[in-house]
Amino acid sequence: DDPAFSPLLDLIERRLAVADVVALHKWDNAQPVQATEREQAIIAAVRNAAPGHGLDPARAAAFFHDQIEANKLVQYARLSQWQLAGAAPALPRHDLQRIIRPRLDDLQTDLLHQLASFDQTRSRQCARKLALALAQRQGDALHRAGMIRATGQLCD
């Protein structure tokens, strides 16, 4: 466990884990994965909040862009699996608007905080250490791919 990465990667993973219940809601309601207005609202909010964490708004926006793209990657993959199976799993459902999006919003401040402290202690060989830290984590192939997507610009 690389202590430079684990608090941030834990949070990224928690946000990404929500993609499965988002996909369930969208499957049940025949709702598209892409929600452009919601994405724009998130990017505007994190740009606004960034300076309060000592972060450049562009840095915060790029990081959240990656979180959103990773989330959609997992959603598209789940929906494709459920199309093949002809059914989605019998897991508990949660309402997107009332339950799931507020849950995603709750992670926002912590993510910005951890991104800021990650940036303050940035080490050399960031990309290599990130790859090692990701390889050491648990998760199925899809969530592993999602974690790689979610950290795509982390070491830039």
Residue numbers of the site for ligand ISJ (CB under 6 A)?
A: 22, 33-35, 38-39, 42, 67-68, 71-72, 96, 101, 104
| Closer residue to ligand ISJ (CB): 20 or 119 | 20
DSSP assignment of 94-117: --IIIIIHHHHHHHHHHHHHHHHH
Smallest gap, in angstroms, from Cβ of residue 51 to ligand ISJ?
Answer: 21
What is the amino acid identity at position 63?
F
The three-class DSSP label of residue 136 is coil
Smallest gap, in angstroms, from Cβ of residue 68 to ligand ISJ?
Answer: 4
Q: Which residue has the tokens 């969530």?
A: 143
Q: Are 8 and 139 in contact (CB under 8 A)?
A: no
Smallest gap, in angstroms, from Cβ of residue 97 to ligand ISJ?
Answer: 9
| Closer residue to ligand ISJ (CB): 4 or 17 | 17
Smallest gap, in angstroms, from Cβ of residue 91 to ligand ISJ?
Answer: 17
Diameter of the chain measured on Cα atoms: 48
C-alpha Rg value of the chain to the nearest Å: 16
| Closer residue to ligand ISJ (CB): 23 or 133 | 23
| Closer residue to ligand ISJ (CB): 4 or 76 | 76
Phi, psi of 142 (to 5 degrees): -65, -45
Name the residue with the smallest CB distance to ligand ISJ. Answer: 71
